[in-house]
């Protein structure tokens, strides 16, 4: 994992640092050459108010992204917002709130209920309650959004500290008028979250003998789905539908604010002489790229029926020299000479940049040429230099350039120009 943390004196400066790192991350993935997307994301347990994920598109991905082909809007399923047509919204929902049960009087809504308890960091119980979420039928509840809204409310009302714990229990879902029985007795508060797809509703709490009734919304408390209208486009009177794509997360950026700096005592004195010399917590950012995950994901994304097709920027070796004969001493000597020449060219260019790389190897195994070529394609070297008798007779070598899903592109290159030819194609 490549980790990075930033510490700034103000929110504005922290956002500037965030944007600089985000741009650097995009440059990194662009240079790698693997298709990627940047998605708005939920900060989760990390906290903070700004978060983006960096994904490589892959059908084997564990994340679902919703994206708009028109404006480019992309967000993780847990954060995505989609608008519904009037025909897909619901009306006349009656919600009965009881101490121990909750149900609708009709079947035109989806209801989710859970009990919750709030603790301080020492594990002391501070508050207990019950939460009910209502949305249009057939739509699932975005529990992350609901829990985040609930946590924020409890913190603002001083019912739990911002470093406390929120324990969610016994989530149950009903889409008809069956009764949902709560395990929790005598809740201190009853929270109702109304999704903005519910246009009209009635709250009936006549059977509620105790506990404060708190209403939240209407807001986007449902999980967005493919086919929903893009919220960004619909604001401009366009009606583009969101689509889903599977992806693998390989990087993440978070703006953390002062959540951790306050707890850790990471403070500083302002430089402004006009201000009182009172310590302030630093504004933090947290950033990471999963190096090993990125390599594995690139192999998953960049392959065909012959093997891996490594992007040249992250290939373990970019050039593999394959002699066609294991017994021709003159040919093997030429392979060694070309290897040394290419290494010299590589070192000449990278030393000026303060780097060291080793991008060339020779397949000198005692195997048949066909087996060596099959292995070279399986491993995924971007360039395979084939040395046959023609190289001895005419001074020309055949360079096979690996292309995903297509036959190798074959180039005839003079041996004395091979180093420059490969360098121009960023092979060495």
pLDDT tens digits for 277-313?
788 999 999 999 999 888 888 898 899 999 999 998 8
**CA neighbor of 19 nearest in space, from 253, 343, 357, 281:** 253
Distances (CA, A) of 296 to 54, 56, 91, 247: 15, 11, 48, 13
**Separation of alpha carbons 68 and 127, rounded Å:** 41
The pLDDT score that the predictor gives to residue 45 is: 52
**pTM higher than the cut 0.75:** no
The pLDDT score that the predictor gives to residue 276 is: 63
Please state which of the ranges 41-45, 77-81, 344-348, 408-412 shows the lowest mean pLDDT: 41-45
The pLDDT score that the predictor gives to residue 194 is: 92
The pLDDT score that the predictor gives to residue 288 is: 95
Q: What is the pLDDT of residues 98-141, one digit of tens each?
A: 555 444 445 677 888 888 888 887 888 888 888 888 888 888 88
Superfamily, domain 311-424: Anticodon-binding domain (3.40.50.800)
Mean pLDDT in residue range 33-60? 78
Token pair of 222 as six digits: 């449902």
Check pLDDT > 70 for residue 170. Answer: no
Mean pLDDT in residue range 190-214? 77
**Separation of alpha carbons 30 and 62, rounded Å:** 22
The pLDDT score that the predictor gives to residue 36 is: 87
**Of the options 3.30.930.10, 3.40.190.80, 3.50.50.60, 3.20.20.300, the CATH number for the domain spanning 2-81+228-298:** 3.30.930.10
The pLDDT score that the predictor gives to residue 176 is: 46
Mean pLDDT in residue range 329-353? 78
Q: Band of the pLDDT at 240, cuts 50, 70, 90? A: confident
The pLDDT score that the predictor gives to residue 309 is: 94
Average pLDDT, the chain: 83
Mean pLDDT in residue range 177-204? 72
By the 10 Å C-beta count (0-12 exposed, 13-18 middle, 19+ buried), 386 is classed as: buried
**Sign, Cα dihedral of 86, 89, 94, 97:** negative
Token pair of 157 as six digits: 């009302």
The pLDDT score that the predictor gives to residue 3 is: 93
Rg, C-alpha atoms of the chain:
30
Looking at the chain, the domain(s) classified CATH 3.40.50.800 span: 311-424
The pLDDT score that the predictor gives to residue 414 is: 94
The pLDDT score that the predictor gives to residue 97 is: 65
The pLDDT score that the predictor gives to residue 374 is: 96
Mean pLDDT in residue range 201-208? 66
The pLDDT score that the predictor gives to residue 351 is: 52
Looking at the chain, the domain(s) classified CATH 3.30.930.10 span: 2-81+228-298
Q: Band of the pLDDT at 346, cuts 50, 70, 90? A: low
Mean pLDDT in residue range 160-178? 69
Q: What is the pLDDT of residues 86-98, one digit of tens each?
A: 777 887 777 766 5
């Amino acid at each position: 994992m490549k980790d990075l943390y930033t510490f700034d004196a103000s929110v504005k400066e922290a956002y500037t640092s965030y944007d600089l790192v985000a741009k650097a991350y995009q440059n990194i993935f662009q240079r790698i050459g693997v298709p990627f997307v940047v998605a708005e994301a939920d900060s989760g347990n990390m906290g903070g108010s700004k978060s983006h994920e960096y994904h490589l598109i892959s059908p084997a991905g564990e994340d679902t992204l919703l994206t708009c082909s028109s404006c480019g809007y992309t967000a993780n399923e847990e954060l995505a917002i989609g608008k519904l047509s009037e025909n897909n919204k619901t009306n006349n929902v009656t919600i009965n709130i009881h101490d121990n049960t909750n149900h609708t009087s009709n079947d035109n809504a989806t209801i989710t209920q859970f009990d919750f308890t709030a603790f301080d960091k020492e594990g002391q119980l501070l508050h207990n309650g019950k939460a009910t979420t209502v949305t249009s039928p057939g739509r699932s509840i975005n529990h992350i959004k609901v829990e985040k809204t609930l946590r924020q409310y409890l913190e603002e009302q001083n019912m739990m500290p911002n470093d406390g714990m929120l324990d969610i229990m016994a989530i149950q879902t009903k889409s008809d008028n069956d009764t949902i029985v709560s395990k929790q007795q005598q809740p201190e508060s009853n929270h109702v979250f109304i999704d903005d797809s519910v246009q009209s509703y009635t709250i009936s709490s006549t059977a509620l003998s105790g506990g404060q009734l708190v209403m939240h919304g209407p807001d986007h408390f449902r999980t967005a789905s493919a086919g929903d209208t893009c919220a960004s486009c619909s604001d401009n009177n366009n009606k583009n539908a969101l689509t889903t794509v599977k992806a693998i997360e390989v990087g993440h950026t978070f703006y953390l604010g002062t959540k951790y700096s306050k707890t850790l005592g990471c403070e500083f004195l302002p430089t402004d002489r006009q201000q009182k010399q009172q310590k302030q917590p630093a504004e933090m950012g947290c950033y990471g790229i999963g190096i090993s995950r990125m390599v594995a994901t690139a192999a998953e994304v960049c392959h065909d029926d012959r093997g891996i097709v490594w992007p040249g920027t992250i290939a373990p070796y970019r050039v593999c020299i394959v002699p066609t004969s294991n017994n021709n001493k003159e040919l093997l000597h030429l392979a060694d000479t070309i290897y040394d020449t290419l290494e010299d060219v590589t070192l000449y260019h990278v030393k000026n940049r303060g780097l060291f790389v080793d991008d060339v190897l020779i397949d000198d195994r005692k195997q048949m040429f066909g087996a060596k070529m099959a292995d070279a394609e399986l491993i995924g070297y971007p360039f395979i230099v084939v040395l046959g008798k023609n190289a001895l007779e005419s001074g020309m070598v055949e360079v096979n350039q690996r292309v995903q899903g297509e036959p190798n592109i074959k180039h005839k290159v003079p041996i004395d120009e091979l180093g420059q030819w490969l360098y121009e194609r960023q092979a060495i």
